[in-house]
């Protein structure tokens, strides 16, 4: 009887052999991934990932073989770094006996001990779980409601991790599903637990020219969720971060407020509750601009105030903030002009009548944009790696 020939991923060059290795639960070695990534075409990568997902939905696998295939699939997805491929994996897993497959996946992956061992790889594992939760929430099938609740509950249970990439993923996930009352309470818990830390980290990157485009892209998807929420602590957390960075970098931060207001008006013009929440945050920052006593900051605030829809709520907020005794005469006069609707259009800008607004000369400053589009997953992992790099530098310096 001839001995059984041993095969490994280092020998895999064809799709047939790759599927055979998956069926045998042969673990993919990290050193083989650079070659495997180049060896297969995009269509073959899709088939391999679908085969991984199908094998994980198979009840015949032992726990050890299940863990091998799961670790291999996660390593493969991480190295290929294609968000569409992750979506293919999630869809196939949810469609193939989804309840049992996802429960097994949660059991194997979501443990607090595992999350803090390997930063990027375990963050990628959590990203896949978040993708599964988003898929179940989006499709809203009858048999998915209980499974979605289980996924969300498990994600909430690992939110005490110190891994910044995982925190960014969880913050983004719960912000995305923040629609009904139950999910809104989950998001409020996340904000209470580490919302301030996440926002401080992202705003620190926002005020750095090298990373501002990445940070702005993350904030444009998460801040509206806070503005939609009715939890007082969420608004208080964001306001405290705003105040901190307003004092640190007043000119660049007011520029961000102006640009973000334009973003909100472009994408959420019909959501008056969200715009009213944004107005309150801006109004609370206005006395700080007056305290800094830099008249050039008023230009960005006026661009925001004059673009927001004028209604009774707007007039009430402007009237109350104008009664603040800490306002300087210049800033108070500007608010009174807005309240009295004494406005004039000059050079395409709406300005208070009879009051000179100190604008910066030349081209109006703006924020950098991403040179090439990044998937949400790539963006979050990049933002998390900046925190890990910074912490490593600090530890080495100490």
How far, in Å, CA of 129 to CA of 108, rounded? 12
Examine the pLDDT at 398 and tell me if it is beyond 50.
no
What confidence score (pLDDT) does residue 174 get? 93
Residue 321 above 60 pLDDT? yes
State the pLDDT at residue 296. Answer: 80
Q: What pLDDT sits at residue 363?
A: 44
Model confidence at 281, pLDDT cuts 50, 70, 90, reads very high
Does the pLDDT value for residue 199 go beyond 90? yes
pLDDT in the model for residue 171:
94
The confidence band for 375, taking pLDDT boundaries of 50, 70 and 90, is confident
Q: What is the mean pLDDT of residues 290-304?
A: 82
The span from the CA of 329 to the CA of 334, in Å, is 9
The counts of H helices and E strands in the chain are 20, 2
Which of 44-48, 338-342, 376-380 has the largest mean confidence?
Answer: 44-48
Q: How many percent of the chain have pLDDT more than 90? A: 19
Token pair recorded at residue 137: 């929430």
In the predicted model, is pLDDT for residue 112 greater than 50? no
Which pLDDT score, from 0 to 100, does residue 117 have? 46
Average pLDDT of the segment spanning 84-108: 79
pTM for the full predicted model: 0.85
Output DSSP code: residue 191: I
| pLDDT at residue number 93 | 85
CB atoms within 10 A of CB 182: 10
Mean pLDDT of 341-347: 52
Q: What is the mean pLDDT of the chain?
A: 81
Q: Is the pLDDT of residue 360 over 90?
A: no
What is the CB neighbour count within 10 angstroms for residue 299? Answer: 18
Beta bridge partners of 352: 343
Q: Which residues have CB under 8 Å from 52's CB, separation 6+? A: 22, 69, 72, 73, 76, 89
pLDDT confidence of residue 107: 75
Phi, psi of 352 (to 5 degrees): -65, 140
pLDDT higher than threshold 90 for residue 397: no
Residue 3 has pLDDT above 50, yes or no: no
Token pair for 251: 């000119």
Span 222-230, average pLDDT: 87
Q: 337, 255, 263, 260: which is closest to 289 by C-alpha?
A: 255
End-to-end C-alpha distance for the chain, whole angstroms: 63
Instruction: For residue 8, report the phi and psi dihedrals to the nearest 5 degrees.
Output: -140, 170
Could you give the C-alpha distances from 54 to 22, 102, 174, 248, 332, in angstroms and in order?
A: 10, 12, 28, 52, 66
Which pLDDT band, with edges at 50, 70 and 90, does 251 fall under?
confident
- Asked whether residue 396 carries a pLDDT value surpassing 50, the answer given is no
* Region 68-86 average pLDDT: 87
Question: Which of the listed ranges 140-154, 177-191, 244-258, 365-379 does the model predict with the highest average pLDDT?
Answer: 244-258
Predicted pLDDT at 385? 86
Q: What is the pLDDT of residue 353?
A: 44
Give the model's pLDDT for residue 194.
92
245, 187, 191, 243: which is closest to 215 by C-alpha?
245
3-class DSSP state of 344: strand
- Per DSSP, the three-state class of 290 is helix
pLDDT of amino acid 361: 47
Instruction: Report which of residues 151 and 352 the model is more confident about.
Output: 151
| pLDDT for res 337 | 76
What is the tens place of the pLDDT at every residue in 20-54? 999 988 989 888 898 998 889 999 999 999 999 88
């Amino acid at each position: 009887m001839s001995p059984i020939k041993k095969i490994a991923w280092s020998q895999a060059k064809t799709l047939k052999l790759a599927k055979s290795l998956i069926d045998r639960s042969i673990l993919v070695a990290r050193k083989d991934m650079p070659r495997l990534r180049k060896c297969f075409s995009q269509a073959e990568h899709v088939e391999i990932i679908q085969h991984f997902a199908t094998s994980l939905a198979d009840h015949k696998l032992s726990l050890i073989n299940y863990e091998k295939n799961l670790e291999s699939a996660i390593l493969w997805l991480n190295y290929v770094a294609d968000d569409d491929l992750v979506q293919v994996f999630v869809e196939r897993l949810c469609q193939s006996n989804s309840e049992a497959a996802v429960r097994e996946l949660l059991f194997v992956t979501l443990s607090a001990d595992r999350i803090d061992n390997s930063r990027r790889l375990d963050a990628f594992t959590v990203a896949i779980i978040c993708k599964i939760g988003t898929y179940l929430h989006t499709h809203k099938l009858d048999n998915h409601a209980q499974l979605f609740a289980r996924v969300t509950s498990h994600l909430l249970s690992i939110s005490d991790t110190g891994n910044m990439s995982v925190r960014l993923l969880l913050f983004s996930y719960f912000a995305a599903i923040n629609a009904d009352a139950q999910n809104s309470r989950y998001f409020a818990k996340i904000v209470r637990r580490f919302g301030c830390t996440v926002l401080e980290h992202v705003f620190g990157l926002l005020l750095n020219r090298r990373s501002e485009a990445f940070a702005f892209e993350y904030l444009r998807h998460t801040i509206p969720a806070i503005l939609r929420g009715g939890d007082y602590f969420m608004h208080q957390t964001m306001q405290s971060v705003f105040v901190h960075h307003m004092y640190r970098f007043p000119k660049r931060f007011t520029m961000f407020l102006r640009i973000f207001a334009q973003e909100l008006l472009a994408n959420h013009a019909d959501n008056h509750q969200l715009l009213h929440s944004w107005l309150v945050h801006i109004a609370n920052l206005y006395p700080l601009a007056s305290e800094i006593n830099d008249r050039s900051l008023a230009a960005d605030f006026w661009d925001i105030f004059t673009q927001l829809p004028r209604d009774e709520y707007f007039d009430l907020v402007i009237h109350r903030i104008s009664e603040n005794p800490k306002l300087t005469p210049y800033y108070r006069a500007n608010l009174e002009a807005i309240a009295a609707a004494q406005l004039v259009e000059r050079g395409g800008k709406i300005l208070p009548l009879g009051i000179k607004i100190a604008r910066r000369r030349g081209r109006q400053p703006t924020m950098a944009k991403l040179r090439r589009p990044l998937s949400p997953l790539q963006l979050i992992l990049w933002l998390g790696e900046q925190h890990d790099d910074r912490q490593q530098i600090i530890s080495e310096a100490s």
